[in-house]
Amino acid sequence: MSNKPSEYRLSTQGLTKHYPGTIACQDIDLTIQPGEIHALLGENGAGKSTLVKMIYGVTAPTRGQIFWEGRPVVLRSPAMARELGIGMVFQDFALFESLRVVENVALALPKREPHRVLAKRIQTVSERYGLPIDPEKPVGSLSVGERQRVEIVRSLLQTPRLLIMDEPTSVLAPQAVERLFETLRQIAAEGCSVLYISHKLHEIRALCDRATVLRQGRVTGTCTPADETAGNLARMMIGQALPVVNRPPSKVADVALAVNTPRISSGDEHEVGLEALSFSVSRGEILGIAGISGNGQGELLRLLSGERLAPSADAIRINGEPVGQYGVAKRRERGMAYIPEDRRGQATVADLPLTDNATLTAINTQPITQYGLMRHAAIQAFTQRCIEIYQVVCSGSQAPARSLSGGNLQKFVVGRELLQMPQLLVCAQPTWGVDVGAAAFIRQKLLDLRSEQTAIVVISEEIEELFEISDRIAVIADGRLSPIRSVADSSYEQVGLWMSGLWDSEGALNA
Amino acid sequence: MDSGLIQEVVSATLLAGTPLIIAALGLLMNERAGVLNLGAEGMMSLGAVYGFIAALSFSSPVLGLAAGLMAGALVAGGFALLTITLQANQVASGLALAIFGVGLAGFVGKPYESQSLKAVGEWSIPLLVDIPWLGPIFFQQQPMVYLSWVLFGAVWWFLYRSRSGLLLRAVGEDPAAAHAIGRSVVGVRYLAVIFGGALCGLGGACLSIFYAPMWVEGLIAGRGWIALALVVFATWRPFRVLLGAYLFGGVLIAQLFLQGSGVKISVPSQLLSSLPYLATIIVLVLISRDSRRIRQHSPASLGRAFRADE
């Protein structure tokens, strides 16, 4: 096979990026053909985003060369990359919320255009690719899915020849994912190359023509994903077979958490409130709550954890005791543990050592204080136990929380809560941004805790994860909780449909 | 109160609010780009003293205004270098600039303190001045009042009607996103900060050339700080800045009339002198309580440094 750069839309040779103390990318060779959908597959921290940043001109490579249609290029800024015809759809969006859609698009275009003309063009393109958007709406009022459409349409208006998509499906319901894939295939058929970044194997096998797999900053293989088994891809991605989670049958005991609240409006107008809720979770079972972020999960978590008090004491009961008017500490004293969504800001204090971070929640349940004074030996022992049992990679119990990688910090947070042997665990996004190996480990630990007769509520955006560990599953959409069904009676498709809030019509059909 | 006195008070109000409008419009622009420059008091002081010296030396108010504008722009350029290129903390740098500017202005202006400029006459706008009652108030004013109206119109048009203004607002809201779509955050911010400094200098020069017209140490008397507060409480909208500045001017003039009228009042004069500041802040706080509105119009990145490579 010849490796002449001129055959490719984009290629890189020996592209390397070193940060102080770490190698983000090492000798990356990547080739993308015209009209090809090329996957960049790898775990968090494998170097995908660094590589893309170099291609999009955000970060300068330490060494190595990028070729654009055969010519060597040096990309000093995103502006230069865009001039060449490289467009990018960002995972966390590069949109201005206070501006209207048409203004957002206008800012990204090189030439001035009257708004009316531009709005027409937006409409035309959005219809052509099946991405309906209203150009006059302010971006702040759009859902995440709509925002992504704005980003895609904005890129398409510049007729890119390479479109980079960074984890585009993390914010979409399954049906929307299917529609996005159709759009991408259409774009590719028209000759635009797509660089598709993801860690989801099934998506890549369904969509992409070729894949480049990264692990620890190096290319571990290039392949045609449709010809490979998921196991082979996983081996390239994580260096071993996909870990399997062992789930014993559940032994359900009495109710540990009972929730019965009226409608609660949200304190923040950017977040939806919660409709009336009524559900319970028993000891020894896991209740999974699926949903696309921003549909009331935040409010539900605050309500369950006690960060926000319920309207009345008996709205929330832990082991039968009304705790609705109790805050987090008092609920923790009654056997609740809580793993918030944001491990850096909420679950830990970045600058404090792990021992102090362990103390912050363990102080309610563990014998680590005496006469109001801290017992350092006991704290040290608890932290050490957490680090060992949960395989936290760190420089020791005195390491500040910020020095841990995302996956290791999450393992630490999970360990800290689980070691307190809670009777009720509320947790959000337990494996968000965590690599596959650590994610499987955490899921296994949650299942082990369930075998210890703990009641567990897991709120997650990953349907696969919920199906793997939950006993019963529900969906939260627009602040409303769907009926709860046992996992055995549910399917991905049905939960995906429910994620758009459509369970009523289905019920009507069945009735 | 007879109608002549009311005319006089309103007319004086417009005049008193004008330097504040000019400075606040400048600050509004540089805050809309996401840069907080607390050095307004210093920039106004320097603009006032250099404007005064130039106007005196060349016997030309126009050259005086130009000198004031340049002085403000120059120190703002230094501030931009510190905070945008060198990523220094904006609050600390701004406070330093405020103290430095006031001190330097006092030092430079010492020899000129006893001198006075010839007052600049009022300009009548033909035809408009003949409007009964209102004409003499609004259209027989010092030129700086007209200048402030032109600036107000220009800033409004720029912010809400021009593509560059859109870019300015975008940079203030999310510099990382602006960079990602290929726009120069650093360039926009430099221009905005220098524009802000230029208008602060111009506002100061208006004070020493038209309003006073003289130079004494402490001439600015906290107007730089009021201009900063005006912008925040006006939720970064030009029209509210205009209203707030005239409110300040109105209370300032009213209490001066009161003190000069000989009416016996048992309130210390210091308390009366603080009224314009108090009234402006209170009213603006009251009208800008809507948190959603504030969020919609405030530059989200205000005061935060931006680094391209992250």
Tokens of A386: 């957490």
Convert the pLDDT of each residue in A275-327 to its tens digit: 899 999 999 999 999 988 778 888 899 999 999 899 999 999 999 999 999 99
Residues A195 and A287 in one domain: no
What integer is the mean pLDDT of A401-412?
83
Nearest to B121 by CA among B227, B240, B8, B213: B213
Convert the pLDDT of each residue in B131-156 to its tens digit: 888 888 888 888 999 999 999 999 99
Packed helices B163-173 and B3-32: angle between N→C axes, nearest 10 degrees: 70
* Alpha carbon separation from A100 to A139, A248, A351, B237 (Å, rounded): 6, 52, 39, 18
CA distance to partner chain B, nearest, from residue A79 (Å): 4
In A, residues 75-104, which contact B (CB 8 Å cutoff)?
77-83, 88, 90, 93-99, 103
Convert the pLDDT of each residue in A316-366 to its tens digit: 999 999 999 999 999 999 999 999 887 877 889 988 999 999 999 888 788
Nearest-by-Cβ selection for A103 from B166, B308, B309: B166
CA distance to partner chain B, nearest, from residue A487 (Å): 41
Nearest to B183 by CA among A211, A422, A104, A418: A104
Residues A95 and A206 in one domain: yes
Residues A176 and A70 in one domain: yes
Give the neighbor-by-neighbor strand order of the sheet with A63-68.
Answer: A22-32, A10-19, A63-68, A71-73
- Rounded Cα distance between A258 and B258, Å, is 68
Convert the pLDDT of each residue in A447-470 to its tens digit: 999 999 999 999 998 888 899 999
Q: What is the separation of C-alpha B237 from the centre of its chain, rounded to a whole number of angstroms?
A: 14
Indicate if the pLDDT at residue A92 is higher than 60. yes
- Rounded Cα distance between A400 and A422, Å, is 25
Indicate if the pLDDT at residue A5 is higher than 70. no
Nearest to A450 by CA among A336, A283, A318, A332: A283
Provide the CATH number for the domain around residue A86: 3.40.50.300
The parent domain of residue A472 ranges over: 255-335+422-510
Residue A281 identity (one-letter amino acid):
V
Tokens of B304: 């935060």
Residues A56 and A159 in one domain: yes
- Rounded Cα distance between B151 and B202, Å, is 11
What integer is the mean pLDDT of A429-446?
84
- How many A-B residue pairs are in contact by the CB < 8 A criterion? 65
Residue A491, Cβ neighbours under 10 Å: how many? Answer: 10
- CA triplet B114, B115, B119: central angle to 5 degrees? 135
Nearest to B206 by CA among B9, B13, B12, B23: B23
CA distance to partner chain A, nearest, from residue B150 (Å): 25
Indicate if the pLDDT at residue A104 is higher than 70. yes
* Alpha carbon separation from A158 to A84, A312, B142 (Å, rounded): 11, 55, 51
CA distance to partner chain A, nearest, from residue B155 (Å): 18
Residues A130 and A230 in one domain: yes
Nearest-by-Cβ selection for A106 from B163, B178, B308: B163
Contacts of A83 in chain B (CB under 8 A): 182
- On whether the CB atoms of residues A16 and A28 are closer than 8 A, the answer is yes
CB–CB contact A58 B308 (8 Å): yes
CB–CB contact A60 B178 (8 Å): no
Among all chains, which residue has been given the structure tokens 């900060």? B193
Residues A326 and A211 in one domain: no
Convert the pLDDT of each residue in A106-162 to its tens digit: 998 888 888 899 999 999 998 888 888 899 988 888 877 788 889 989 988 988 999
Chain A contact present for B173, CB below 8 A: yes
Contacts of A140 in chain B (CB under 8 A): 296
CB–CB contact A99 B173 (8 Å): yes
Nearest to A344 by CA among A403, A257, A286: A403
- What are the per-10-residue average pLDDT scores of chain B (310 residues)? 81 93 96 96 97 94 96 97 94 96 96 86 85 85 93 96 93 90 92 97 95 91 92 89 91 85 78 85 77 75 77
Residues A310 and A181 in one domain: no
Convert the pLDDT of each residue in B155-198 to its tens digit: 999 999 999 999 999 999 999 889 888 889 999 999 999 999 99
Residues A212 and A149 in one domain: yes
CB–CB contact B184 A79 (8 Å): yes
Total-model pTM = 0.77
Contacts of A106 in chain B (CB under 8 A): 163, 166
Residues A284 and A219 in one domain: no
- On whether the CB atoms of residues A305 and A340 are closer than 8 A, the answer is yes
Evaluate whether residue A416 is within a structural domain.
no
User: What pLDDT does residue B108 have?
Assistant: 95
Evaluate whether residue A60 is within a structural domain.
yes
- CA triplet B280, B282, B283: central angle to 5 degrees? 70
CA distance to partner chain A, nearest, from residue B38 (Å): 25
Among A107, A117, A152, which would you mutate to test the B interface (most chain B Cβ atoms within 10 Å of its Cβ)? A107
Residues A182 and A221 in one domain: yes
Residues A186 and A262 in one domain: no
Convert the pLDDT of each residue in A194-212 to its tens digit: 999 987 788 889 999 999 9
Total of domains in chain A: 2
Contacts of B300 in chain A (CB under 8 A): 98
Among B162, B169, B181, which would you mutate to test the A interface (most chain A Cβ atoms within 10 Å of its Cβ)? B181
Gyration radius of chain B over CA positions = 20
User: What pLDDT does residue A508 have?
Assistant: 45
Chain A contact present for B167, CB below 8 A: yes
Tokens of A177: 């994912």
Confidence of residue A510 (pLDDT cuts 50, 70, 90): very low
Chain B contact present for A152, CB below 8 A: no
- Rounded Cα distance between A177 and A203, Å, is 9
Residues A234 and A260 in one domain: no
pLDDT, chain A, mean: 87
Residue A110, Cβ neighbours under 10 Å: how many? Answer: 10
What integer is the mean pLDDT of A28-54?
89
Residue B150's contacts (CB-CB under 8 Å, 6 or more residues apart) are: none
Q: Which residues on adjacent β-strands are paired with residue A480? A: A477
